[in-house]
Structure 1
Amino acid sequence: MINPSASGWIDKFFIKQEFKKEHLFLDTGTFYKKTRATGFIYGHIISFETPMLVDTKGWVQNEIPKVALLNTLYGVYGLMTQDEDPNNFIKKALYFYDDLHPQGFNLFKKVLPNGSPSLNLEKIIDTRVQTNVDIINKNFSHIVTNALLFIDILAFGQYLRNGKIPEKYLKKLKKL
C-alpha cells in the first residue's frame, strides 16, 4: 500500500502497478472514456484506471487526487508517446511543469533543485492538488478546484504533441 503523503510514493506507485505496453491507451476516445469513468474529469475521483487495484482505505482527502493526477498524466503520456517507462514520464512531466511555470514562479524554483526527479514531481503534484481542509481554501469546493486538474492533462497532451505549450493555448488556459 502506498501513502501519497509520504516521501517516495511515486516510485512505490510505479513499482506496484508494473505498467506495460498493453496498459497504454491507443486512442484518445478510449483515454477520455476511461478517465471520465474514474471521476477525475469532474473532480470527484471514484476509481483509478490502473493494472492493479489501488487501495485508498485510510487515505485523507487530498491523497486520492494526487494519485489520480499522477496516473492520468501518465495515461496521457503513454497515449502520446507509447512509452511505458515511468522514468521517462517523470522527466517529461517535470519539463512540462517547468514550461508551464517559467522562471518567475518561485515555488517551482524552490522545489525542483533538490531531490530525485520523482520526489520533485511529488512536490509539484502536492501543490497542484487542492482541498478545502485549510482555512484559505474553505471558500472553494475541493471538487470544483480539483476538476480544474484536467486542464493539466490537456496542457500536458499539448506539450507532448508540440514539444512545448503553445503560447495561444497557455493564454486560453489562463482565462479559465
Structure 2
Amino acid sequence: MIKKIVGLALIGMVSLPAQAFTEACQLVAQMAGPNYENKPNRFGSMQSPDEMPKTLNAQLVGRNGGWFIYQGDTAWFDVNHCAPIIHSVGSRSVEMVPVLLNKETGHNAVINGIFLIKTYRQEHIDLIAERYGFQKVSPLPNRFTAVFDVKPQTSYDHLIETLDRDRDIEFAAPLLSEPHYRPDKRPTP
C-alpha cells in the first residue's frame, strides 16, 4: 500500500516553474499529476447533506469515504487560500476542504494536508518536521522519505513553493484522499 502511494506521488512530481497562480489549488493539482484538475467550486466536508446549511446552496456530488463532496455556483477557495476554511452560517460552522477532480477516474480527491516529503539527507527528516512544525505520520522504507501532516496551512500552493525553495528538501508532494480506482472487470466468456 505504501509503495503504491509513494509511486503515485513520484509520478505526479514535476519541476516547479516560477509562476503566478490564477486559481486556488493550481500548484497542488500540478504536483498531484496530469490527471488532476482543480475545482475551487467544490469542497469536501464531514457534514452530511441533512446537516449542511441550505443557505450555502451546495449540492452533494459524491462521497469519498467519510467525506461528502459538494459543489456550488461560486468558488469557495481563492488563489491565496488552498486549504481548509471554516464558513459560518448563523450559529453553525462548516469546515470546507479543497477538492481536486481525477479526470481519469472521475473521482473527487480531497486535499487533506498529508504530504510525502523526501530530503537529501536522512537527518533532515526530523529537521524538516521541527522547522515547519509538521507532524511526522510515518517514516517510509526509503530513509530519506516520510509522510507528514502539514496542517494547519493558509495555502498548500504557497507551502509547496516554500518547500521547493528549501535546500534540504528534494521534493514534496500531496497525498490525496480519493477512492481506490478499480477498472471495470468483466468476466471473460
Give yes or no for TM over 0.5.
no
Name which one, 1 or 2, has greater alpha-carbon Rg: 2
Question: If the length of structure 2 is used for normalisation, what is the TM-score?
Answer: 0.33
Question: If the length of structure 1 is used for normalisation, what is the TM-score?
Answer: 0.35
> Greater share of helix residues, 1 or 2?
1
